[in-house]
């Protein structure tokens, strides 16, 4: 009897151990270790603001001139806004910081980070997770307070990913360079069309991590391809960014997220859907304002195959929305959907903040 009980206990333990061993790794979301840079270098490794030593910034590896910055007034009359905490790092000429993290090989991830320029020169922040790399031009300020937050997507090539932020520029002042004040990550899941709707991620519900203390939305940089887009299913194919917004800080027509087209014709999103040649389809979408001070005559232009619609919306900045639609005939087995804003807008409360119409709930159904 005693042996039977012991065998049962051992068998149960083996089942538990096996289940634990083969369980999928947890979904990754949140700040990287010391992702908000609030864990400071020791005073012995700081020369004023300059960090001394490759491993002196906790959890990060640094290369070149990297400064540890406290938000607020700076020597020389400058002011650095640190919107996601108290501290940040500034990358000087050819400087970089990096961190290696465990990931799932083949999975899609989005990095979310606060980044802004600190000098009048054009500044570029290179983001890479080898072998993937992307350059983010920071000369366009989407918010006047320096609180721009970006997302950048990558697909893990192995079980370890090295996240690198690099200032590629060489300025006359070697200390000039991008300010980085928070870095987070989120695992993304490729969405599938549902309930007859041919559009994937139709309500933009699957998207990058939203920093808890950020109220400006998340900018999705231009030229993001479908396979690695931080907005699964969608391509950011324009010259400027579009903005991923959430219900907590903005008016969103449906669900908890939407897209704000903040750069007129220079910010566009697209998706390629599967269609049957010569069949008739109906494209519908919601447009409105985010209740963020963006008002006036708005218009969203939508293209599907060789059909187009210009959907006007007169905004009083009250968070209203409407729906628009068009019918189109599929010309091939693939049809591209494209959306952009016809006009440029700035907030009535802040002329330095770019804004635009909100796009949500994109649907395509076969009707004939």
Give the mean model confidence (pLDDT) for residues 70-83: 78
Tell me how long the chain is. 368
Choose among 97, 101, 94: nearest CA to 53.
97
d(CA 75, CA 54): 25
Per-residue pLDDT tens for 282-325? 999 999 999 988 989 999 999 998 999 999 999 988 889 999 99
Beta strands of 64-138 (E only): which ranges? 66-70, 72-73, 79-80, 87-91, 96-102, 108-116, 124-129, 132-137
Q: Give this prediction's pTM.
A: 0.88
What integer best gives the mean pLDDT of the chain?
Answer: 87
DSSP state of 312: E
Cβ–Cβ < 8 Å for 258, 358: yes
Query: What percentage of the chain's residues is helix, strand, coil (to nearest 5)?
Result: 10, 40, 50
Q: Is 51 helix (H, G, I), strand (E, B) or coil?
A: strand
Position 137 scores a pLDDT of 84
Task: Compute the distance between CA of residue 123 and CA of residue 116 in angstroms, rounded to an integer.
Answer: 9
Residue 231's closest CA among 319, 123, 144, 359? 359
Question: For the chain, which domains are there?
Answer: 29-188 (2.60.120.260), 218-366 (2.60.120.260)
pLDDT at 8: 39
Non-local (6+) Cβ contacts of 12 within 8 A are none
Per-residue buried b or exposed e for 122-151, using 16+ beta carbons within 10 Å of the residue's own CB? ebbbbbbbeebebebebeeebbeebbbbbb
Residue-level pLDDT at 192: 82
321-339: average pLDDT: 96
**Which one, of 64, 224, 68, 73, lies nearest residue 150 by Cα?**
224
Cα 294 to Cα 170, 221, 322, 345, 350: the distances in Å are: 37, 21, 16, 7, 10
Mean pLDDT for the stretch of residues 39-63: 96
The model's confidence at residue 368, banded by pLDDT at 50, 70 and 90, is: low
Strand partners, 155: 108
pLDDT per position as a tens digit, 231-271: 999 999 888 899 999 998 899 999 999 999 998 888 899 99
pLDDT digits (tens, 9 = 90+) for 265-274: 888 999 999 9
Q: Which two tokens stand for residue 3?
A: 């042996």
CA 299, CA 310: separation in Å to the nearest integer?
Answer: 7
Of 6-15, 165-174, 273-282, the poorest mean pLDDT is in 6-15
Burial of residue 10, with CB atoms counted within 10 A of its CB: 0-12 exposed, 13-18 middle, 19 or more buried: exposed
Instruction: Give the pLDDT score at 140.
Output: 79
Asked if residues 352 and 346 have their Cβ atoms less than 8 Å apart, the reply is yes
C-beta of residue 317 within 8 angstroms of C-beta of residue 288:
no
> Do 101 and 161 meet the contact criterion of CB atoms below 8 Å apart?
yes
- Neighbouring residues of 46: CB distance < 8 A, sequence distance ≥ 6: 52, 56, 68
């Amino acid at each position: 009897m005693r042996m039977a009980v012991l065998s049962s206990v051992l068998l149960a333990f083996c089942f538990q151990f096996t289940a634990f061993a083969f369980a999928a790794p947890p979904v990754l979301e949140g700040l990287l270790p010391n992702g908000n840079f609030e864990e400071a270098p020791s005073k012995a490794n700081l020369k004023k603001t300059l960090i001394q030593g490759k491993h002196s910034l906790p959890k990060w590896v640094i290369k070149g001139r990297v400064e540890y910055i406290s938000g607020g007034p700076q020597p020389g009359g400058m002011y650095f806004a640190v919107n996601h905490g108290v501290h940040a790092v500034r990358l000087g000429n050819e400087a970089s910081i990096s961190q290696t993290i465990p990931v799932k090989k083949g999975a899609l991830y989005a990095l979310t980070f606060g980044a802004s320029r600190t000098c009048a020169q054009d500044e570029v922040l290179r983001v890479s997770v080898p072998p993937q790399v992307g350059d983010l031009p920071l000369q366009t300020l989407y918010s006047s307070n320096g609180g721009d937050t970006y997302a950048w997507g990558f697909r893990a090539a192995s079980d370890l990913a090295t996240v690198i932020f690099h200032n590629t520029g060489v300025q006359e002042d070697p200390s000039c360079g991008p300010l980085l004040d928070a870095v987070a990550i989120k695992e993304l899941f490729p969405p599938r069309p549902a309930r007859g709707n041919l559009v994937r991620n139709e309500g933009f519900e699957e998207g990058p991590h939203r920093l808890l203390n950020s109220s400006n939305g998340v900018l999705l940089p231009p030229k993001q391809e479908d396979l690695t887009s931080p907005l699964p299913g969608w391509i950011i194919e324009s010259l400027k960014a579009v903005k991923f917004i959430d219900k907590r800080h903005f008016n969103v027509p449906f669900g908890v997220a939407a897209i704000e087209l903040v750069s007129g014709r220079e910010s566009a999103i697209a998706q390629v859907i599967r269609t049957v040649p010569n069949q008739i389809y109906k494209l519908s979408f919601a447009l409105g304002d985010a209740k963020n001070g963006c008002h006036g005559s708005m218009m969203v232009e939508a293209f599907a195959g060789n059909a187009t619609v210009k959907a006007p919306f007169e905004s009083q900045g009250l968070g209203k929305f409407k729906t628009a639609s068009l019918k189109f005939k599929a010309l091939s087995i693939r049809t591209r959907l494209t959306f952009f804003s016809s006009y440029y807008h700035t907030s009535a409360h802040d002329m330095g903040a770019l804004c635009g119409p909100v796009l949500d709930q994109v649907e395509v159904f076969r009707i004939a």
